[in-house]
Chains A and B, each alone.
Chain A
Amino acid sequence: MRLRASSVLNHAFMIAFSFIMIYPVIWWVGASLKKTEELRLPTIWPETPMWSNYTEGWHFSANYTFGHFFANTLLMEVGNVVGGVLTAAVVAFGFARLNFPLRGFWFSIMMLTLMLPGQVTIVPQYILYNTFGFVDSYVPLVLPHFFGGGAFFIFLLVQFIRGIPKDLDEAAKIDGASVYGIFGRIIFPLIKPALVTVGIFTFIWSWDDFFSQMLYLSSVDKFTVGLALRMFIDQFEVQWGQLLAMSLLSIMPSVLIFFFAQKHFVEGIATTGLKG
């Protein structure tokens, strides 16, 4: 009996805590349908839902709909995810399975770059892209993902590959497979679950990477969703209902991915991703 009481209490606490954490998001959903005067209230559902917040917000910019900005962002994301997943796998295999001179050195350097403040490289990078005429294009946003997808992901995959028994490689080697064959036919298929994690995080992080997008994209035609929202916020008189509606739409791709691939987040990172 005592056990049951404590378990009920436990659940009550967890429900209350989850509710407090998620409350701003729940409120957000309701607020996206509210009139401006109602936004000051902590209540969730508006008296009369203003669906026009969505239709008018969608057309807030004179020349483009939000669909245009979504298409731009998705186009960029295709490059980022493909580049990140493929090259991170390749690089991680090199670090995890091959012996070459200075391997430890390069690996340490790579881990050090995780700690390097981006501000140190941003000015020369900008100058570099500018020299080649890539400013105001997606190149500065997509290209870095083709260089291994980022130190964090390489590290994650190295840890994952190290957990795969070497017997598999040895068996393939006896059958005459080259290192490229071992990578393509053995390791790559086996690390797919971890690659899904890499792809998901690449997607969400580059969706939210406001700084680079703002730095490198200047013409409205090429704006991403994040930049479009910034333009919306900076208007002379902000239509908050519409802005919150479009903001909510802008996080939907991340939300959908989150719910479809949920186990890859908390569980995946905690139990498979970082396990060696």
Chain B
Amino acid sequence: MNAPTADTMRALPKRRWKRPIGKETLPGYIFISPWLIGFLLLTAWPIGQSLFLSFNEYSMLSAPQWIGTANYERMWSDATFWKSLRVTFTFVLFAVPLRLAFSLLVAMLLNRAMRGMNLYRTLIYFPSLIGGSVAVAALWRNMFGVDGYINSILGFFGIQGMGWISHPDTALYTLILLNTWQFGSTMVIFLAGLKQIPSELYEAASVDGAGPVRKFFNVTLPMLSPVMFFNLVLTVINSFQMFTAAFIITKGGPVQSTYMYALFLYEKAFKHYQMGYASALAWVLLAIVAVLTAINFLASKYWVFYENEGGGKR
């Protein structure tokens, strides 16, 4: 099992044989220095700075001014904050399960031995390749517009079309659909996981008289649960940061129905230059994501199955 799971993410294996300590210390640090310098400069320091700024008022024009927890208190009475939070949670609630289920389904379709499978893989993966670009956002905006071809197809089936993107009740769902259409990276990880399930398990299940449904629930799902967990954690985190599509296709509208949290934060920071408030917003986002990830990790004890559990180190 070598797909990236929480297990492999924890640490590297212990050193295999003893060596005089210190001999590789300098080369080791030289080799990792590009990452280490980048981490300190562009991640560690900014994190601290961001926390500091969240307690300040700062517009980049004058020095930061300490205002205590005022930025955080301000959120309570900021209707836009709650609105964007609600939009984002709705998005995550729909987008994550849809994307995971769809990716798994496609991965299972593509994991079969079949002539021409490479071609099918290419075709099906293709939309994900270009998914996050401005170009696809433009395409989506046209397809789901009042005069888009989606409405023509619906009209053919006698369904009255509408401006899917310009209507506050449906705009968010067009973004969720776009997100599902870009399932590729999640699917590829599922595919890697599926390939590592030993075929003997399926053979044994067949001998015991299990049909495809039971095989799925009793072999595929448990064996895939570490990969599922990895995908779940990352998809949740990424969905909270959804930006480009909401920015290009709907601009957060209509009537803020797609005003994603990342969009709100961006506008506070770089349109209104309220850097302090934006930093506080970022820390609230971090707290939400951290809590959800922690819940995911805690819950994983009950449903994630590790093959080597209790069976010693690999």
Contacts and interface: CB of A to CB of B under 8 A. Distances in A.
B279 interface: yes
Contact of A109 (B39, B50, B123, B134): B39
A144 B50 contact: no
B151 interface: yes
Contacts of A11: 114-116
Contacts of B125: 265-266
A127 interface: yes
A101 to B, nearest CB: 6
Interface stretch (B68-76, B216-224, B241-249): B241-249
B37 A147 contact: yes
Which interface residue of A113, A147, A244 has the most chain B CB atoms within 10 A?
A: A147
Contacts of A251: 130, 133, 135-136
A274 B46 CA distance: 31
B59 to A, nearest CB: 11
B35 A87 contact: yes
B34 A250 contact: no
A107 interface: yes
Contacts of A232: 138
A111 B25 CA distance: 21
Interface in B17-52: 19, 21, 24-25, 27-32, 34-39, 41-43, 45-47, 49-50
Contacts of B34: 87, 90-91, 146-148
A39 B34 CA distance: 49
Contacts of A90: 31, 34
Contacts of A275: 2
B120 A18 contact: yes
A99 B12 CA distance: 11
Contacts of B25: 100-101
Main secondary structure of the interface of B (DSSP, over half): helix
Contact of B32 (A95, A146, A155): A95
Contact of A119 (B39, B41, B282): B282
Given A28-B139, A99-B28, A120 B116 contact: no
B4 interface: yes
A274 B192 CA distance: 8
A55 interface: no
B147 interface: yes
B141 interface: yes
Contacts of A146: 34, 38
A21 B149 contact: no
Contact of A258 (B129, B135, B142): B129
Contacts of A18: 120, 123-124
Interface stretch (B91-99, B167-175, B232-240): B232-240
A21 B103 CA distance: 13
Contacts of A151: 35
Contact of A121 (B15, B50, B115): B50
B38 A94 contact: no
Interface residues of A, number: 100
A103 B136 CA distance: 41
Interface in B135-184: 135-136, 138-139, 141-143, 147-149, 151-153, 181
A96 B16 CA distance: 12
Interface string B254-296: 0000000010011001100001001101110110010001000
A119 B282 CA distance: 6
A106 interface: yes
Interface string A201-230: 000100110110001000000000011011
Contacts of B304: none
Contact of B195 (A95, A248, A265, A271): A271
A276 interface: yes
A148 B38 contact: yes
A98 to B, nearest CB: 4
A266 B241 contact: no
Contacts of B270: 126, 215
Nearest to A224: B134
B72 to A, nearest CB: 15
A243 B10 CA distance: 46
A10 B114 contact: yes
B195 A270 contact: yes
27 contacts: A11-B114, A14-B120, A21-B124, A21-B126, A22-B123, A24-B139, A24-B143, A24-B181, A93-B31, A96-B12, A99-B19, A116-B43, A119-B281, A120-B286, A121-B43, A123-B269, A130-B60, A166-B16, A208-B134, A210-B248, A243-B138, A247-B138, A251-B133, A254-B129, A255-B130, A271-B195, A276-B2
Kindly list the 4 A-B residue pairs having the minimum CB-CB distance in the complex, ordered from nearest. A147-B38, A94-B31, A100-B28, A148-B35
Interface of B: 2-4, 8-12, 15-16, 19, 21, 24-25, 27-32, 34-39, 41-43, 45-47, 49-50, 53, 60, 109-110, 114-116, 118, 120-127, 129-136, 138-139, 141-143, 147-149, 151-153, 181, 188-189, 191-192, 195, 233-234, 237, 240-241, 243-244, 247-248, 262, 265-266, 269-270, 275, 278-279, 281-283, 285-286, 289, 293
Given A179-B31, A233-B134, 20 more contacts: A111-B9, A113-B39, A115-B293, A118-B241, A119-B286, A121-B42, A122-B269, A124-B47, A127-B60, A127-B275, A128-B45, A147-B34, A147-B39, A211-B244, A226-B135, A251-B136, A265-B129, A270-B188, A274-B3, A275-B2
